[in-house]
Amino acid sequence: MVIKLKVELIMNSYKTIDGRGANVHITGGGCITIQSITNIIIHGINIHECKPAGNTNVRSSPGHFGHRGISDGDAVNIFGSKHIWVDHVTLSNCDDGLIDAVEGSSLITISNNLFTQQDKVILLGHNDAYTADKSMQVTIAFNHFGEGLTQRIPRIRHGYVHVVNNDYTKWKMYAMGGSAAPTILSQGNRFLAPDDEKSKEATKYENAPKSEWQKWNWKSEGDEFLNGAFFTSSSRVINSSNAAFFTSSSRSSSSSSASDISAKAVTLVPKLTANAGALKCKKGSAC
């Protein structure tokens, strides 16, 4: 099933797109917009070659349509929405980014996906001045960031991001970046650096001098670094006073809550990410 959307697919709250049991591709036109809604699951599909589309009337529900401008050309655009789960999706080669979450979006899980052939991969945060994104909480787990990715894996402006047990394969510029003092906890990830000696660093502190970014909260714990890869941590320690997520191995004794995802040993990453992307399911059999 190949679906070429003339315009964006604008979702409503409490909806699931589930491609299990079929080989579903959304490609060649507008893609998925999640705007000012809640409780969304996108699972088991392929999204690629998304293009800017719009400047026309677009239906957002059975009883409503309105004029929309031109979309950005993202695979999945999350705007002012919460409780979002993008799982077992294969994403590549879109005009803008693969997943954007902006304008107060939060409580997002990006898991078990395969990302390939893209410049800007994941953007979290509208802009540096948009402080409402300070409450953003995102978990990025068990994904395979494969060949042909350049940057923003992810790129965070504000908020709290737990990056856990992902497999990074030879980015072109950098893996994780940030610019407005976000908190990043990187746990149990495998970083395979590119051969280019100028791009070995997995991290990029943007728009801030060292005297400023040293006060941010970026921490690597249990990660594996191959082919010269390295992670530059900030000087502060992530703990219960400056982070909104905790794991069994890193939360303080004063914490009253924990992340739903605890990091596994980095040696398990190949197994954890072996089935990243859309599952090869057949109707009538278990995935």
Residue 152: active-site member: yes
Instruction: Report how far residue 258's alpha carbon sits from residue 247's, in angstroms, rounded to the nearest whole number.
Output: 5
Q: Which amino acid is at 18?
A: D
Ramachandran class of 93: left when φ > 0, alpha when ψ lies in -120 to 50, beta otherwise: left
DSSP states of 27-66: ESSB-EEEES-EEEEEES-EEES----EEEEEEEETTEEE
Which token pair is 39? 């409780």
Specify the DSSP element, H or E, that contains 77: strand 76-79
Q: Which listed residue (68, 152, 157, 251) is catalytic?
A: 152
Long-range contacts formed by 195-198: CB under 8 A, 24+ apart:
195/170, 195/227, 196/172, 197/228
Residues forming the active site: 152
